[in-house]
Amino acid sequence: MNHGLIYRFLVRWLVCGLGLWIAAGLLGSSVDYETGGQIIIAGLILALINSIIRPFVVILSLPAILFTLGLFMIIINGFTVFLVSVFYEPLHISSFWIAILAGMIIGLVNYLVTAILENREQ
């Protein structure tokens, strides 16, 4: 198995978990979990959804993405976060709109971590 692929997935898992943790902190009781272990598991599920399901959703919604000049990706990110709360009940997200906000926060965390890691590699 390719070690680079494993490394990228572990970083994605870490970023998803960190993003969920930050989103829960910023959004208060709208994103609820009980233990740190639950946020780690939710991060793993989000990383798996982003790796497996999200590419198909993006392809199927390509006309909407093009029509909105990419803004529909915000809805897709919220949808993936909402799916985590459906598949993993210890993570409770109060509404789809909160999932969209959480997806935006996770996206921002992902951008920042990726930028930091790319600067370290240079």
| Cβ-Cβ contacts under 8 Å for 5 (sequence gap 6 or more) | none
Rounded CA gap, 120 and 98, in Å?
Answer: 33
By the 10 Å C-beta count (0-12 exposed, 13-18 middle, 19+ buried), 122 is classed as exposed
What is d(CA 6, CA 37) in angstroms, rounded to the nearest whole number? Answer: 21
pTM of the model: 0.89
pLDDT tens sequence for the chain (122 residues): 678 888 889 989 999 999 999 999 999 888 888 888 999 999 999 999 999 999 999 999 999 999 999 999 999 999 999 999 999 999 999 999 999 999 999 999 999 998 888 887 66
Nearest to 103 by CA among 73, 81, 122: 81
User: What pLDDT shows up at residue 46?
Assistant: 95
List the domain boundaries for the chain: 45-122
